[in-house]
Structure 1
Amino acid sequence: MRLLFLAVLRPHTGNAVTAKRVRDHLEAAGHLCILRDVFNFESPAEIADLIAAENLDAALALHLYRGGRLLQGHQIPFGVIFGGTDLNEDANQLEKSEVMGKVLEEARFAVAFTESMKEKAQTQWPHAKGKIYVQSQGIVTTPNAAFDWDTFLQRSDISQSADALHVFLLICGLRQVKDPLYLVDAFSEWHQEEPGVYLVIVGPEVDPEFTREVKAKVKRAAGVRLVGEMPQEDLHAVVKNCFALVNSSVSEGMSAAILEAMDLEVPVLARNIPGNAAVVKHEVTGLLFSDPQEFVQLAKRLMSDPALEREIVANGREYVRRHHSWQVERDTYQSLARKLAPGSEE
């Protein structure tokens, strides 16, 4: 089949990585998958022109509101993949929720990353029961073997001579829902007590106005550094070398950075929100915090308790191997794609 795949494709973001991985799964089954950024289209009419020009048979969208709404009414079968924004934000706005409900009426199938996402979607749109499947993100990490950690520390303006250096890494696009400033004040105070601890925020500048706010805040914060977006292989190498991965988001669908850290045997400290709690079991596969002060307490505990660190690292790696198999994800999407084939039953 000739498939159109719509997704948000900002470079080096979770959405882009997920979309490209799913595209690879579909193309491995022999389909031609044309991946396009939803932000390049303003209306369904533009999608209609693309469908005609490329002689497309079916379509897929990552995010029901951003992408799915552009696929309505074109008389070609399509499937959708829920994003965190769909259920954590857009579903709470009546107009967007109604649009997403209509998308689900037309879609042959929908994919949720977790059981809790599926349950939330079925509660919001009862008519979609029976067409929502659960498939966790598959994880493959590929650290750049040639990456130089010392050079990264220099780029981050981190003193390598600091006693007991511990780098905490926060990976996120600079936008409010990721809340990169949530821990800055508390971390800065901690750094002044223990100069060897640093928080490094890595990610693309998604929201220009908010980015200016983040840069201004970080510039004044001791022990906090901001680094721009990086290629995935380099980012994986940074994760592998840091002391711990941090997530402070207000909402998440499923954080690829958390799963990648687990796969790379790096401990995770994550904000206690539903999307993170679906992946991180407190004191088993990682540590969950509810406020900045608790984050500092847990981070100190992790630094002083090597046995705890070893245990959550081992459990996290095993969790990813059991529940986030790249091969299982491939099999699922290749199977679902058959529902889009001409003559298939809805």
Structure 2
Amino acid sequence: MRLLFLAVLRPHTGNAVTAQRVRAHLEAAGHVCILKDAFDFESPSEIANLILAENCEAALALHLYRGGRLLQGHRIPFGVIFGGTDVNEDANQAEKNTVMGRVLEEARFAVAFTESMKEMAQVQWELQQHQTPLLTGIPFFNVLVDPVFTREVKANVKRAAGVRLIGEMPQEDLHAVVKNCFAVVNSSVSEGMSAAILEAMDLEVPVLARNIPGNAAMVKHEVTGLLFSNPQEFVHLAKRLVSDPALEKEIVVNGKEYVRMYHSWQVERDTYQQLIRKLEGSTED
């Protein structure tokens, strides 16, 4: 089957890495997956022309608003994958919230990466009326590169003693750096599913993460990692982790097991391939 896959493909972002991984899953099942950057299109009419030109039979979108809205009104069946921006940011804007609700009404399935993200979506759009499979997976992690944010980070790092900013590097080198670190810190104020946290757990490195819904969905305090709410609490927990080898060992073991149990790459592949079969069946009706 020929599938159109819309996602935000800015280089070195989690979205782009996730999209490439999902495409690999689908192509492994024999589908032709035509991956396009949602930001290259402004209206569903442009997508209609693309669907016709590429002879697409079904479609998939990563992010309901950024990609899913472009798939509305076409005759081909489609599924959607929630992004963190959908439930953490765009859902708070009335116009975007309404658009995403309409996308869900038309989508044949919707996928959430974590249980908390699924629950938030159910509250926002009453998804008990829809089929919303829960899916988790292990992205390989890449650093988000945003020009404005990058300038802010570089400026702050220059003023911070003892902090080094390391540029992009090959994945193998990144893994080596992470494995040689005492801990990985996630200080995001908004997350869907942090690939950095999952990868640190898989590499057996302790995690300290800001206590926000996306992080707390994966990090159970003092079990699979440590959660902090402010700088003072972070300093306290970091010192505790350094001085308590037993706690460090327990967190590492539990984190590794959590990834094995709930973020299996093979389970993710099988699940996406099963979901796409739902679209394949729809085209035959």
Residue 299 (structure 1) aligned with residue 266 (structure 2): no
Partner of 1:309: 248
Deviation at 1:311, TM superposition (A): 0.9
* Partner SS state of residue 225, structure 1: coil
Unaligned runs of 5+ in 1: 142-170, 174-203
Partner of 1:5: 5
TM-score, length-scaled by structure 2: 0.95
Count of equivalent residues: 285
Range with bigger deviation, 6-15 or 314-323 = 6-15
* Superposition CA RMSD, Å: 1.8
Deviation at 1:126, TM superposition (A): 1.6
TM-score, length-scaled by structure 1: 0.78
Partner of 1:268: 207
Task: Find the aligned partners of 2:188 and 2:140 in 1 and give their Cα distance.
Answer: 23
Deviation per CA, 1:105-155, whole angstroms, max 9, x where unpaired? 1100000012221121111112563311101123579xxxxxxxxxxxxxx
Partner of 2:51: 51
- How do residues 235-254 of structure 1 correspond to structure 2 at under 5 angstroms? 235-254=174-193
User: Are the aligned partners of 2:17 and 2:140 in contact in 1 as well (CA < 8 Å)?
Assistant: no
User: Are the aligned partners of 1:140 and 1:326 in contact in 2 as well (CA < 8 Å)?
Assistant: no
Partner of 2:222: 283
Partner of 1:319: 258
Partner of 1:157: none
Deviation per CA, 1:159-202, whole angstroms, max 9, x where unpaired? xxxxxxxxxxxx752xxxxxxxxxxxxxxxxxxxxxxxxxxxxx
Residues 108 and 84 (structure 1 numbering): CA distance in 2 closer, same or farther, change over 3 Å? same
User: Are the aligned partners of 2:143 and 2:168 in contact in 1 as well (CA < 8 Å)?
Assistant: no
Task: Find the aligned partners of 1:128 and 1:96 in 2 and give their Cα distance.
Answer: 20
Task: Find the aligned partners of 1:50 and 1:303 in 2 and give their Cα distance.
Answer: 55
User: Are the aligned partners of 1:267 and 1:309 in contact in 2 as well (CA < 8 Å)?
Assistant: yes
Partner of 1:232: 171
User: Are the aligned partners of 1:101 and 1:125 in contact in 2 as well (CA < 8 Å)?
Assistant: yes
Task: Find the aligned partners of 2:49 and 2:212 in 1 and give their Cα distance.
Answer: 41
Task: Find the aligned partners of 1:268 and 1:13 in 2 and give their Cα distance.
Answer: 21
User: Are the aligned partners of 1:139 and 1:324 in contact in 2 as well (CA < 8 Å)?
Assistant: no
Residues 345 and 247 (structure 1 numbering): CA distance in 2 closer, same or farther, change over 3 Å? farther
Partner of 1:17: 17
Deviation at 1:48, TM superposition (A): 1.4
Range with bigger deviation, 285-294 or 336-345 = 336-345
Task: Find the aligned partners of 1:87 and 1:140 in 2 and give their Cα distance.
Answer: 22
Q: Specify which structure has the higher proportion of helix.
A: 2
Task: Find the aligned partners of 2:270 and 2:165 in 1 and give their Cα distance.
Answer: 38
Residues 139 and 90 (structure 1 numbering): CA distance in 2 closer, same or farther, change over 3 Å? closer
One-letter identity of the residue aligned with 2:157: V
Residues 83 and 56 (structure 1 numbering): CA distance in 2 closer, same or farther, change over 3 Å? same
Structure exhibiting the larger radius of gyration computed from Cα positions:
1
Unaligned runs of 5+ in 2: none
One-letter identity of the residue aligned with 2:122: Q
One-letter identity of the residue aligned with 2:109: F
Residue 341 (structure 1) aligned with residue 277 (structure 2): no
* Partner SS state of residue 133, structure 2: strand
Deviation at 1:73, TM superposition (A): 1.1
Residue 256 (structure 1) aligned with residue 195 (structure 2): yes
One-letter identity of the residue aligned with 1:283: E
Partner of 1:112: 112
